[in-house]
Structure 1
C-alpha cells in the first residue's frame, strides 16, 4: 500500500516542458519534472509514437516529428528516461515501456526533442507556467539593450518581459534575486543564471 501511494504521488508531480535553442513554441528538447527535478529523455529507440504521447503531455494534439542527438542543445541534470517504447495511445509516458526512472546509459548529447503539431488541446491547462496569485505567465523574453551590430545570438542578457494581453510588459526589479533569474533562464532553456551588471541597466533605462 505504501509503495503504491508513493508511486501515485510521483505520477501526479510529472510536468513537461520544451527547452533549448533554436526552437519554436511547439518544438524543442523535451524535459520532464520527476521526483522534484527536471531532466531529459534519451533518444535511444525513440519513435514518433513516443513523441505523440509527449506532445499531448505538452498540450498539443499530436506530434509531427522528433529530433535526436541534442538537436536543441544538451540539457543538464538527470536523464530520466531511456529506451522509451510507446504504442502512441498511452495517457502518460509512465505507461510506456522504458528502462526505469533514472536508469540510462546515455549522455546529454543524446537528448531527444519533439516537434508538435501547432494545435492546442482544447481546455488544456499548461503545466509549464509560473503561477502567481493573479495570473499565469506562459511566455517570457529577454529584450536586448546592448547596441551595435554584433549582438550575441541567442540573447542571453537583457530586460525581462512577459507576454501580457496583446503585447509585452517589463518586470520591475524590486525584490528581484538570483532565484528569479534562474527560473526565467530555465523557462528559456538555459541551464543557469549569471550575475548581471544592474548599474548598466539602471543607467540605460533611466
Structure 2
C-alpha cells in the first residue's frame, strides 16, 4: 500500500486522483505484481509526492496490463496539485512468476516486464510498444543495461 508513482522520461511522478476508481487501482496493483486491489485512496492519504504529476483523469476498464494502456490526459498534462495524489492498497498475494512493471524513459511511455523467469526478479525482458509486447535484442546488452532495467522494475 502507498502513494502510486510512475516512472516516465527518467523521472518519478505521481498519479492524480481525478477520475481514479477501483478499475484504475486494479490495473495498478496488477502492474505491481499483485492479484487484486483492495481499495484506493485520494487526497494524498500517503503523503504528497514531489516532481511531476504524470497522469490525470486515468480511465481503465480493469483488464489493461498497465496504466499506460488506460485512457488519460496525456503524460504530464494535469490540472492537479500533489494534495490530490492517489494511492492504492493491493492484496498481499503476488502473482506467481510476475514482476513489477515500470514505465521507462521512452517518449511513448513504453512499459517493461520480466516474463518466464522461475523466481521474482528474473526472466526475459519485454517492452510494450504500440499495444504489442516484444522482446529486447541482446546485441550490445551488458550489465549496465541490465542494471537500468532492474532499477526501473523496482529491484534496486
- Alignment TM class, shorter chain as reference: 0.5 to 0.7
Q: CA deviation at 1:126?
A: 3.9
Residues 161-200 of structure 1 mapped to structure 2, 5 A cutoff: none
Runs of 4+ in structure 1 displaced over 4 angstroms?
A: none
Taking the aligned partners of 1:125 and 1:99, their CA distance within structure 2 comes to 27
Equivalent residue pairs, number: 106
Among 65, 69, 76, which residue is 1:102 paired with? 76
TM-score by length of 1: 0.49
TM-score by length of 2: 0.64
Ranked by relative contact order (alpha carbons within 8 Å, sequence separation 6 or more), the top structure is 2
SS of 1:53's equivalent in the other structure is helix
Provide structure 2 residue ranges, at least 5 long, that are not aligned to the other structure: 103-119, 122-150
- Partner of 1:92 in structure 2? 66
SS of 2:6's equivalent in the other structure is strand
Taking the aligned partners of 1:83 and 1:127, their CA distance within structure 2 comes to 21
Once the two structures are superposed, what CA deviation does each residue of 1:33-56 show, in whole Å capped at 9, x if it has no partner? 111000000000110000000001
Taking the aligned partners of 2:76 and 2:100, their CA distance within structure 1 comes to 25
- Partner of 1:80 in structure 2? 54
Among 12, 21, 33, which residue is 1:59 paired with? 33
Q: CA deviation at 1:85?
A: 0.5
SS of 1:52's equivalent in the other structure is helix
Q: CA deviation at 1:91?
A: 1.1
Residues 20-169 of structure 1 mapped to structure 2, 5 A cutoff: 27-126=1-100
Once the two structures are superposed, what CA deviation does each residue of 1:120-150 show, in whole Å capped at 9, x if it has no partner? 010123458xxxxxxx99xxxxxxxxxxxxx
Larger Rg: 1
Taking the aligned partners of 2:52 and 2:44, their CA distance within structure 1 comes to 14
- Relative to structure 1, the CA distance from residue 38 to residue 118 in structure 2 (aligned partners, 3 Å threshold; closer, same or farther) is same
- Partner of 2:134 in structure 1? none
Taking the aligned partners of 1:74 and 1:53, their CA distance within structure 2 comes to 22
